[in-house]
């Protein structure tokens, strides 16, 4: 039975869309049963616009939500939910990096963000309390040689790493729940979710699903030329079947925490992290469902923030001679 729900939202220079995104996520989480523990983490990735200020305003009266600031290196700092930030050392990619890891009070105890590979196993808690659930650790992050010959940490290239930072921040805050009772949701800063979004995911989780891949409809599709819209709709239609589909969108993805950690989480290099996670879970034998009725609305822009994302796909459709990959 799911007792906690966490939502991760990466954001980079999304000042025009982030407020509506957060408003929709908050409305969706209000539909959950009162006893369900909720947590939201916004990952502010090297923002140079007004996104951090707008996120701070949205989180001002929302104690369940927090924002993690990522600069060019790994030095997260938290705003939003009552928090204290401590200096600590986290093993990353074979090297130890001194940085800031958020420690949030949960049920009266501080819970550190679980590092990606700082121990032989990953644990959901690093604070006094019940024994933590031990899970297989993800693959180590990348390392590169430093001038001294000692390996030093290199920031991974993929959005999957950013999402993973958010997931592990959520797990630190939800440390009082067993991994198999935590449902994690991924969406994007340019996306609006419906009020039944979280409850729809949990309905499938209650039926035994370890992962749910929903659909993403385009918001304001009139901005696209008629031929691009026609090509995109045809591409989506090819993957629609009787009540299910074969697309995967990071803007509308849900998974149980134990399954996520057991397969190593999102791939951290390159693009297509949602497809990578989905393939990992399928290969491990987890039960995955892709219902057509679980939908969100995402921006129809053709200049996005992440390489290889939906915006790149839409832009590529302006060139008829080139083939297009699946959504």
In a domain, 115, yes or no: yes
Percent of the chain surpassing pLDDT 70:
64
Q: What is the per-residue pLDDT across 262-282, written as a single tens digit (0 to 9) for each?
A: 999 999 998 889 999 999 999
Contact 262/124 with Cβ under 8 angstroms? no
Interval 210-222 mean pLDDT: 83
In a domain, 321, yes or no: no
In a domain, 325, yes or no: no
Place 106 in a pLDDT band, splitting at 50, 70 and 90.
Answer: very low
Q: What is the per-residue pLDDT across 74-100, written as a single tens digit (0 to 9) for each?
A: 445 565 554 322 222 222 222 222 223
The tokens of 163 are what?
């999402």
The tokens of 299 are what?
């921006």
Q: Under DSSP, is residue 197 helix (H, G, I), strand (E, B) or coil? A: helix
Of residues 111 and 44, more confidence is placed in 44
Q: Please state the pTM of the whole predicted model.
A: 0.75
Nearby residues of 86 by Cβ (< 8 Å), 6 or more positions away: 100, 101, 103, 112
Alpha carbons 215 and 238: distance in angstroms, whole number: 13
Lowest mean pLDDT among 21-25, 178-182, 219-223, 272-276: 219-223
Report the domain count for the chain: 1
In a domain, 322, yes or no: no
Place 312 in a pLDDT band, splitting at 50, 70 and 90.
Answer: low
Interval 59-66 mean pLDDT: 97
CATH number at residue 173: 3.90.550.10
Q: Average model confidence (pLDDT) for the chain?
A: 76
In a domain, 301, yes or no: yes
In a domain, 225, yes or no: yes
How far, in Å, are 58, 80, 227, 322 from residue 289 at the CA level? Answer: 32, 33, 31, 31
In a domain, 324, yes or no: no
Measured between its terminal Cα atoms, the distance across the chain in Å is 31
In a domain, 167, yes or no: yes
Of residues 306 and 170, more confidence is placed in 170
Question: β-strand 65-70 against 37-45: which pairing, if any?
Answer: parallel
Place 236 in a pLDDT band, splitting at 50, 70 and 90.
Answer: confident
Alpha carbons 96 and 124: distance in angstroms, whole number: 20
The tokens of 77 are what?
């700092």
- 128: containing domain: 4-316
């Amino acid at each position: 039975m799911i007792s906690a729900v966490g939502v991760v939202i990466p954001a980079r220079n999304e000042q025009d869309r982030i407020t509506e995104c957060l408003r929709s996520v908050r409305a969706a989480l209000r539909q959950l049963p009162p006893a369900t523990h909720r947590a939201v983490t916004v990952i502010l990735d090297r923002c140079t616009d007004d996104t951090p200020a707008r996120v701070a305003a949205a989180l001002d009266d929302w104690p369940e939500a927090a924002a993690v600031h990522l600069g060019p290196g790994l030095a997260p700092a938290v705003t939003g939910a009552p928090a204290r930030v401590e200096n600590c050392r986290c093993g990353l990619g074979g090297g130890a990096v001194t940085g800031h890891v958020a420690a949030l009070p949960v049920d009266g105890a501080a819970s550190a963000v679980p590092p990606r590979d700082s121990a032989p196993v990953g644990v959901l808690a690093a604070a006094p309390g019940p024994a933590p659930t031990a899970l297989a650790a993800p693959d180590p992050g990348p390392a590169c040689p430093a001038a001294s010959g000692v390996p030093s940490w290199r920031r991974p290239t993929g959005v999957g790493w950013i999402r993973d930072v958010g997931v592990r921040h959520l797990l630190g805050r939800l440390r009082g729940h067993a991994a198999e009772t935590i449902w994690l949701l991924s969406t994007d800063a340019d996306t609006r979710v419906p009020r039944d979004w979280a409850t729809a995911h949990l309905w499938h989780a209650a039926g035994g699903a370890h992962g749910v891949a929903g659909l993403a409809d385009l918001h304001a599709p009139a901005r696209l030329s008629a031929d691009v819209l026609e090509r995109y709709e045809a591409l989506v239609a090819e993957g629609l079947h009787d009540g299910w589909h074969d697309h995967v969108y990071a803007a509308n993805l849900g998974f149980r925490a134990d399954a996520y950690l057991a397969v190593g989480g999102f791939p951290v290099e390159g693009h297509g992290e949602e497809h990578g996670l989905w393939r990992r879970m399928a290969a491990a034998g987890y039960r995955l469902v892709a219902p057509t009725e679980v939908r969100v609305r995402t921006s129809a822009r053709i200049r996005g923030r992440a390489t290889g994302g939906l915006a790149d796909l839409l832009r590529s459709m302006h060139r008829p001679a080139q083939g297009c990959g699946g959504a």
